[in-house]
């Protein structure tokens, strides 16, 4: 069924009791052409574009829990494309362009809200880096402005721009097309659209091993629901990328860390943009429900537990109040964490591997949500053609041996 004002009206007549399920829950077949491990946004988007762009529909997405229960459903939903390096700018801008047509493409409202993203500068070094990034973005055709302190105050009047601040606001990058999207709608929208094209989405099905033949090529996966055959397997498991890769004997240069976030009680609309500060170390936006969605950087230790330390939350709420004294008396409602897999250069891996038939999409660290559509698009190409798309070729695994790293950590100095 197509979602529209007419289907809404029709279903209102039956008190919304007859809406069909959004996707099927089939039992796994004995074999597929392609298996995608991981039912987050990236895995589901990959399956969708495999079917839509390459006509490969004999595909299964295997998810150990429930769709979007990993980082897709845990992130703070910031979407932007103002990365410094040409390679990253191309990947994230491809993604942002896909975001801009996604609700229509999927016939599902992913609630993209292009409210603008600001990265505040608090020192001369921040100012230089921010201006350089804004200019580099413009050379890549990405909307990106530089605001001075008065400009920041005009865009976000509730922000503390006083000179008495410990680290005063000295300016900001500004990407007007950046913003937020509704995270779980993204997973559900891709799942529904992939299912409609014949993809099997199988939840509660953990992959426990990767099977290979005598030549080393992939022949399928072992799962908690039995062995499933496939000549091509894509690993899209975010915080568990290295666990899955190890099943095929591949050691990745990835560290897995908890990343926390928290939300406040809901309040009336007061904040129209996404505000990020790498130096004071907090970022915040306001959700459609009215909650402030707040985050910062990773907990510094490695862990697979989806929880973090209290002092990290304390630090980011202190930073929030420093930047927004107006929020000082707000109560926080809940906190949570996801496990993010970070590469040494803070750029993702979208790659073929030394194992024939095995492909890896991971290493997105703290900032992969915004890349969901673009990542799925180029990864589907990589799997279908057994070769990278020009946009993800620089993100291949061999960059760790050639040294052609894309060091967004140092360049942009911002997470998410
Ligand atoms: C607190 C937090 C805030 C963030 N904020 C932002 C942000 O504002 N903007 C942004 O761009 N990014 C952000 N990110 C990063 C972003 O969430 C991730 O990069 C992105 O969601 C990764 O998507 P994914 O589909 O690859 O992973 P996931 O959604 O985690 O999907 C991977 C799936 O693989 C499954 N899986 C794992 N092992 C197995 C197995 N053995 N068998 C079967 N399935 C398995 C998991 O259950 C999971 O559902 C944030 C992350 C966190 C944790």
Domains for the chain: give ranges and CATH numbers: 25-78+84-93+96-106+183-254+345-412 (3.50.50.60), 114-177+256-341 (3.30.9.10)
Atom nearest to 42 CA in ligand 1: 25
Q: Is the CB of 240 under 6 A from ligand 1?
A: yes
- In this structure, the residue with its CA closest to atom 9 of ligand 1 is 78
| CA neighbours closer than 13 Å in the CB half-sphere of residue 404 | 11
Q: Is the CB of 340 under 6 A from ligand 1?
A: yes
363-408 confidence digits (pLDDT tens): 999 999 999 999 999 999 999 999 999 999 999 999 999 999 998 8
Confidence of residue 1 (pLDDT cuts 50, 70, 90): confident
Q: Is the CB of 396 under 6 A from ligand 1?
A: no
User: Residue 32 forms beta bridges with which residues?
Assistant: 230
| CA neighbours closer than 13 Å in the CB half-sphere of residue 342 | 27
Q: Is the CB of 186 under 6 A from ligand 1?
A: no
Give helix 86-106 / helix 183-196 axis angle, nearest 10°: 70
Q: Is the CB of 43 under 6 A from ligand 1?
A: yes
Compute, in angstroms, the gap from residue 339 CA to the centroid of ligand 1.
7
Pocket test for ligand 1, best of 28, 35, 36, 38 (most atoms within 8 A of CB): 38
Q: Is the CB of 364 under 6 A from ligand 1?
A: yes
Q: Is the CB of 369 under 6 A from ligand 1?
A: yes
Q: Is the CB of 64 under 6 A from ligand 1?
A: yes
Mean per-residue pLDDT for 75-100?
97
On the question of pLDDT at 415 being above 90, the answer is: no
Mean per-residue pLDDT for 85-103?
97
Compute, in angstroms, the gap from residue 2 CA to the centroid of ligand 1.
28
- Those residues whose C-beta lies under 8 Å from the C-beta of residue 349, and which sit 6 or more positions away, are 241, 252, 254, 343, 360, 361, 362, 363, 395, 396, 397
Compute, in angstroms, the gap from residue 182 CA to the centroid of ligand 1.
14
Mean per-residue pLDDT for 250-277?
97
Long-range contacts of 49-54 (CB under 8 A, 24+ apart): 49/376, 49/377, 49/379, 49/380, 49/381, 50/199, 50/380, 50/383, 50/384, 51/194, 51/197, 51/198, 51/199, 52/193, 52/197, 53/377, 53/380, 53/381, 53/384, 54/380, 54/381, 54/384
Q: What percent of the chain is modeled with pLDDT above 70?
A: 98
Atom nearest to 336 CA in ligand 1: 1
Token pair in block for residue 19? 């809406």
Compute, in angstroms, the gap from residue 139 CA to the centroid of ligand 1.
31
Q: Is the CB of 179 under 6 A from ligand 1?
A: no
Q: Note the pLDDT of residue 296.
A: 87
Confidence of residue 414 (pLDDT cuts 50, 70, 90): low
* Cβ proximity of 328 and 321 under 8 Å: yes
* Cβ proximity of 100 and 379 under 8 Å: no
Compute, in angstroms, the gap from residue 72 CA to the centroid of ligand 1.
5
Confidence of residue 9 (pLDDT cuts 50, 70, 90): very high
């Amino acid at each position: 069924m197509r979602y529209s004002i007419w289907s809404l009206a029709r279903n209102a007549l039956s008190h919304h009791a007859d809406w069909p399920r959004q996707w099927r829950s089939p039992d796994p077949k004995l074999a597929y052409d392609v298996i995608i491990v991981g039912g987050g946004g990236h895995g589901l988007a990959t399956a969708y574009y495999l079917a839509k762009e390459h006509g490969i529909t004999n595909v299964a997405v295997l998810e150990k829990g429930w769709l979007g229960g990993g980082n897709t459903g845990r992130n703070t939903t910031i979407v932007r494309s103002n990365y410094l390096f040409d390679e990253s700018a191309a990947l994230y801008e491809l993604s942002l362009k896909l975001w801009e047509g996604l609700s229509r493409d999927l016939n599902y409202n992913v609630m993209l809200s292009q409210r603008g993203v600001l990265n505040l500068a608090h020192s001369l070094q921040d100012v230089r880096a921010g201006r350089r990034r804004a200019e580099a973005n413009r050379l890549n055709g990405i909307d990106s402005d530089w605001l001075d302190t008065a400009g920041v105050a005009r865009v976000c009047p509730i922000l503390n721009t006083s000179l008495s601040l410990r680290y005063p606001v000295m300016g900001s990058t500004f990407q007007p097309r950046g913003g937020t999207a509704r995270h779980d709608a993204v997973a559900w929208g891709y799942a529904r659209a992939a299912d409609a094209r014949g993809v099997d989405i199988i939840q509660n099905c953990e992959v426990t091993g990767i099977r290979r033949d005598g030549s080393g090529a992939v022949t399928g996966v072992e799962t908690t629901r039995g062995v499933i055959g496939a000549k091509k397997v894509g690993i899209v498991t975010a915080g568990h990328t290295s666990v899955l890769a190890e099943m095929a004997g591949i050691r990745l240069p990835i560290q897995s860390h908890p990343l926390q976030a928290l939300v406040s009680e809901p309040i009336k609309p007061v904040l129209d943009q996404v505000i990020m500060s790498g130096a004071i170390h907090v970022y915040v936006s306001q959700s459609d429900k009215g909650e402030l969605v707040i985050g910062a950087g990773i907990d510094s230790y490695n862990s697979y537990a989806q929880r973090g330390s209290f002092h990290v939350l304390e630090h980011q709420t202190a930073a929030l109040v420093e930047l927004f004294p107006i929020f000082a008396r707000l109560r926080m409602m809940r906190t949570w964490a996801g496990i993010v897999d970070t590469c040494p250069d803070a750029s993702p891996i979208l790659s073929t591997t030394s194992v024939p038939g095995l492909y890896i999409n991971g290493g997105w660290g703290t900032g992969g949500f915004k890349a969901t559509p673009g990542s799925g698009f180029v990864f589907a190409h990589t799997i279908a053609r057994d070769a990278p798309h020009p946009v993800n070729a620089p993100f291949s695994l061999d960059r760790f041996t050639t040294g052609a790293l894309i060091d967004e950590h140092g360049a942009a100095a911002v997470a998410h």
